Structure 1
Amino acid sequence: MTTTRRALGALAAGAALAALAPAGPASATPRHRRLIAHDDFRHGLRQWVVERERGGSVTASRGILDIDVPAGATVWFKRPLEGPYVLEYVATPVAEGGANDRVSDLNNFWNAVDVRSPDDLFATPRGGALAEYDQLTTYYVGYGANTNTTTRLRRYVGLAGVRPLILDCTEPLLVANRPHHVRIVSDGSTVRWWNNGRLVFDYADPQPYTRGHFAFRTTWSHFRINNFRAWSLIP
């Protein structure tokens, strides 16, 4: 089966599952939840590490993480997260005529570990170019990437130049100036990524990544992000 067919199958399943999705962030089996991370973006970037390829601005104030950049940028949550957990945030792609208001690339890394320094993701400095992340083991979603034409799930394996593609979709894509409510589930072999109640990716990983760092990632774009939360899922 081609990755395209698999992706369409996942999307069809997602449409059906979305109607049954729980109101709160949880996997299919009901769990107790314990808040393990959050940021209301009113106290600057003290919980984050910013890596920028070329200029632009990344600020956190008045409840908004504002990422306005002309090239690649990655904003890492400093603390690693360990599953099972569910993570949520809201991101709005800005299209108001600004220099970087190109609606593209609502991307995420999660469960990221650098194979060169497994206990310290930040031991090797990076400048924000995408190729600098090849030596991570991590999941990566590029939602509305390539000038809002592709939506893909990758599973990085820690090798330079190798970014294995798991699922490749032609939709869903970004909608300008519309809030996108993202939910990421890391639950053992279950890897799920939702947007606005729709299950976009549902992947069963036989060798799952279960802990590591989360990041917002984009390139040449402008996003406003709020309501970052993560919960541990307790049976």
Structure 2
Amino acid sequence: MTTRRAFGALAAGTALSALLPTAASARTRPRPGGRLIAADHFRHGLGQWATELELGGTVTAARGVLDVDVPGGATVWFKQRLTGPYVLSYTATPVSAGGVNDRVSDLNNFWNATDVRSPRNLFATRRSGALAEYDQLTTYYAGYGANTNTTTRLRRYVGEAGNRPLIYDYTEPLLTANEPNRVHIVSDGPTVQWWNNGRLVFDYRDPAPYTSGHFAFRTTWSHFRISDFEVRRLRAESGA
């Protein structure tokens, strides 16, 4: 895993070796065998979700698939607020089949998000789907294969307009067209992890962690098919 920058991790005292694949691969993979907190198998519409679309597009949930096909910024929020420790999992496939929005880019997530403008109700603040309108969240933000599939980054938003602190910035791993990505997000106190297909992509220890808030799928000008969404209480295991 090639690292460009890891300012936030180093500032928090994380050793550089923790950013390298040899160190990351030694971490225990999440095994979400705990109590089910939430799930959606995408067979009954968007009742559990709220969409914010910058330039329109379509977001549908049917036949086991959340289909996000958008020409601009899109955020699809899970309405239920989540509190850790938990492991959240889903599968997302970037579609490349000749469609107008079939640009392979931006498998992104917000999690443990709160809007400082309405901290008791994330949805009381109106947002259009433009990325800058999320600066006033406190949240973690993963951007996997962002910027036309050239960057993979972790940010820790601090609720300030124009300030989106960068934790990790990688040149890979990136998305592969029409290939599924099985994602696990671990929220366990100060331990913040984002896994893809069994690989530990982000492993951050936050000295002032965000431990609850909302989750969202986030993308821009792309087409994704998402399935098998669930959140389970994290089961403690030795070596984790």
Q: State the partner residue of 1:39.
A: 40
TM-score, normalising length from structure 1?
0.92
Structure 1: runs of 5+ lacking an equivalent: 26-31
Are positions 1:21 and 2:29 aligned together? yes
SS of the residue corresponding to residue 123 of structure 2 reads coil
Q: State the partner residue of 1:160.
A: 161
Q: Is the 8 A contact 1:7 1:167 kept in 2?
A: no
Q: Is the 8 A contact 2:5 2:169 kept in 1?
A: no
Deviation string 1:184-208 (CA, Å, 9 cap, x unpaired) is 0000000000000000000000000
Residue of 4, 7, 10 corresponding to 2:19: 10
Letter in 2 for 1:149: T
Alignment CA distance shift 1:47-1:11 (3 Å)? farther
Q: State the partner residue of 1:77.
A: 78
Q: State the partner residue of 2:65.
A: 64
Alignment CA distance shift 1:66-1:40 (3 Å)? same
Give distance in 2, aligned partners of 1:229 and 1:10.
Answer: 28
Give distance in 2, aligned partners of 1:74 and 1:8.
Answer: 34
Give distance in 1, aligned partners of 2:43 and 2:24.
Answer: 34
Letter in 2 for 1:62: R
Alignment CA distance shift 1:165-1:234 (3 Å)? same
Are positions 1:131 and 2:118 aligned together? no
Q: Is the 8 A contact 1:11 1:199 kept in 2?
A: no
Give the Å deviation of 1:234.
5.1
1:190-205 mapped onto 2 (5 Å cutoff): 190-205=191-206
Give distance in 2, aligned partners of 1:65 and 1:8.
Answer: 37
Letter in 1 for 2:87: V
Deviation string 1:95-119 (CA, Å, 9 cap, x unpaired) is 0000000000000000000111111
SS of the residue corresponding to residue 122 of structure 1 reads helix
TM-score, normalising length from structure 2?
0.90
SS of the residue corresponding to residue 234 of structure 2 reads strand
Give distance in 1, aligned partners of 2:45 and 2:69.
Answer: 15
Are positions 1:189 and 2:190 aligned together? yes
Letter in 1 for 2:92: A
Give distance in 2, aligned partners of 1:193 and 1:10.
Answer: 13
Give distance in 2, aligned partners of 1:210 and 1:229.
Answer: 18
Q: State the partner residue of 1:146.
A: 147
Question: CA RMSD for the aligned pairs?
Answer: 1.8
SS of the residue corresponding to residue 21 of structure 1 reads coil
Identity fraction in percent = 70
Structure 2: runs of 5+ lacking an equivalent: none
Give distance in 1, aligned partners of 2:216 and 2:192.
Answer: 16
Q: Is the 8 A contact 1:42 1:63 kept in 2?
A: yes
Letter in 1 for 2:122: L
SS of the residue corresponding to residue 147 of structure 2 reads helix
Give the Å deviation of 1:225.
0.1
Deviation string 1:200-227 (CA, Å, 9 cap, x unpaired) is 0000000000000000000000000000
SS of the residue corresponding to residue 132 of structure 2 reads helix
